[in-house]
Amino acid sequence: MKKNNLSLKIGWLYPDLMSTYGDRGNIICLVKRCEWKGIKTKVIKIQQDTSLKLIESINILFGGGAQDRQQEIVMNDLKKNKGKVIKKLIEMNIPALFVCGSPQLMGNYYETANGRIIKGVGIFNIITKNPGKNKKRCIGNIFAELETTNLNKNLLE
């Protein structure tokens, strides 16, 4: 194992509410890969009582998935103040991995199966719509197109 002085603070968004589908495995994998490279890691669980100052200190964000009820709890907390801090981190090019339900929380809004709109924090210009009750679930692979016009030129080199 390579020894170095590198360290990484991983911000895990609402693990008690947003880990319905085994999202802990993504954190375990990230920590293990850092360990193999000799990078010290600290996982910071971002919960409702986590300070904004602590969130501002992280180096990478991760968010998992949840059911609608839990997502609404998270969204209410994000709207209060954490969403602004997370947006600031993204704008500072802090890397993030949002899987399952997290991208829709970071987008403009999510429309539930019964047509209720849950407004997102608007970090990404995306919307998510449930196709409705008794419809086939939208699971599996997705396709997304990345607009590179607003990306930092250093990221593209």
Strands 7-13 and 60-63: parallel
Q: How confident is the model at residue 61 (pLDDT cuts 50, 70, 90)?
A: very high
Q: How confident is the model at residue 51 (pLDDT cuts 50, 70, 90)?
A: very high
pTM score, whole prediction: 0.80
Q: How confident is the model at residue 69 (pLDDT cuts 50, 70, 90)?
A: confident
* Mean pLDDT of all residues in 8-22: 90
Please provide the average confidence, as pLDDT, over all residues in the chain: 85
Locate the domains of the chain by residue range: 7-156
CA distances for 114 relative to 20, 118, 129, angstroms: 21, 11, 10
Reading the block at residue 87, the tokens are 């947006």
Reading the block at residue 94, the tokens are 């802090």
